[in-house]
Amino acid sequence: MDDDEARPQPLQGVKVVDLGQVYQGPYAAFLMAKAGADVIKVEPLHGEPVRIREALGGGASLPMAMLNSNKRAITLNLKTPRGCELLKALVSRSDVLIENYAPGVMDRLGVGAKTLFEVNPRLVYASATGYGLSGPERDSLAMDLTVQAASGIMSVTGFPDGPPLKAGPAVADFISGTHLYGAIVTALFERERTGLGRMVEVAMVETIYPTLASNLGMIQSDLGPPPPRTGNRHGGLAISPYNVYPCRDGHVAIICLVEAHWTNLLKAMGRGELKDDPRFIDNAARVTHMDETDAVVEEWTKNLTRAEIFEASRAYRLPTAPVRNLVEVMNSPHMHERGMLQWIDHYSLGRIVVPNSPLRYHGTPQMMGASNARLGEHNREIYGGVLGLSDSEIDALMADGVI
């Protein structure tokens, strides 16, 4: 570690009660844990949905390990009065509570925001939902797939002659989880000035909208017809070349955002004679002749490997990248060298790759990855060490089905 890497993590001393489940809430809490916060993951007695397989004896799941590293884990039955009392006791000693239950669930349990602010006025209460805490669609059931459908993502994903497609990854969950983290940290910053907490919320469908900027640009101000699906071409059909092209061992993505990129691509392809061709003279012409432009590029890529194309792109300063499969990405030398990906020994899964936080805090060493905690692993540590309960009281809570 360099001498200047001696500062503490930026959220050191911040205490978080994480009621998050699946991906959205847990990812926001994960980012906080990786920034040094003390995150207590609170789960039902059988575990949160991603843990179910583990709780039933089927072993841990990789998503559980990825999103819950560096958290302490307890169980708590919020459907019991004593369970709600214990949550209030934890909140009274904490800075942040994160939950991504459906709207109204926390209120029905008797531990909604209003109640918890009475316990701790400095609390940052963070709520993440599919459609928000208000509005005519607030009670619609939301999962990543349904939000992709409702937000417009699926309508612009796929090829023009095919059906709408979902994005492969859980983009709505993780984009909204990142926004939730931003809202929490913003509220914590405000609290440093005012001394008061507040409620913050994000809706999955709302965090998606800005990502559709290129597609929305095709509609303009007259709210014309919905934009078509464009496959791997630019979502606004405004840039060419912009596509995924076949090569000898897979595919490669190439984009020419500015004219210098196109000029350099012609050099790389050995097609300098096309520089003054009116079909390709500028981006507008190439968009008009998009099929012909793509054909020129494909004629070059199909005879080369991904590595050869990538090497040419580095030499000629072209925005290109090989289309990598997930095994290749998991073993990326670049991300492992930077510490974004780490190999760890997991208590159930064995040797696995887990991500670090993509947020970097220069001057502070990265927090190393670790196995996520077992279900209820820190019950005695939290209820005894934090809340001061005796062993006999903890035993009674377990016997009564509270923890």
**268 near 259, Cβ under 8 Å?**
no
The predicted pLDDT at position 45 comes to: 94
Measured CA to CA, the distance from residue 96 to residue 72 in angstroms comes to 15
Region class of 144: left (phi > 0), else alpha (psi between -120 and 50), else beta: alpha
The predicted pLDDT at position 237 comes to: 80
**Is the confidence at residue 188, as pLDDT, over 70?**
yes
What number is the average pLDDT over the span 253-267? 95
Catalytic residue among 18, 38, 173, 294: 173
**228 near 153, Cβ under 8 Å?**
no
The predicted pLDDT at position 1 comes to: 41
**Is the confidence at residue 339, as pLDDT, over 60?**
yes
Peptide bond into 241 cis (omega under 30): yes
Confidence of residue 221 (pLDDT cuts 50, 70, 90): low
Query: Is there a catalytic annotation at residue 173?
Result: yes
Q: Give backbone dihedrals phi and psi of 181, rounded to 5 degrees, phi first.
A: -60, -45
**Is the confidence at residue 55, as pLDDT, over 90?**
no
Complete domains list, the chain, with CATH: 15-209+333-399 (3.40.50.10540), 242-323 (3.30.1540.10)
The strand ranges marked E within 68-113 are 72-75, 96-99
The predicted pLDDT at position 231 comes to: 84
Closest CA relative to residue 249, chosen from 158, 328, 332, 330: 328
The predicted pLDDT at position 238 comes to: 86
Taking all residues of the chain, what is their mean pLDDT, rounded to a whole number? 92
What number is the average pLDDT over the span 168-189? 96
- Which of the 8 DSSP states describes residue 11? T
pLDDT in tens, 131-144: 999 999 999 989 99
Measured CA to CA, the distance from residue 184 to residue 102 in angstroms comes to 19
Share of the chain above pLDDT 70, in %: 96
Closest CA relative to residue 153, chosen from 204, 101, 100: 204
What number is the average pLDDT over the span 62-68? 92
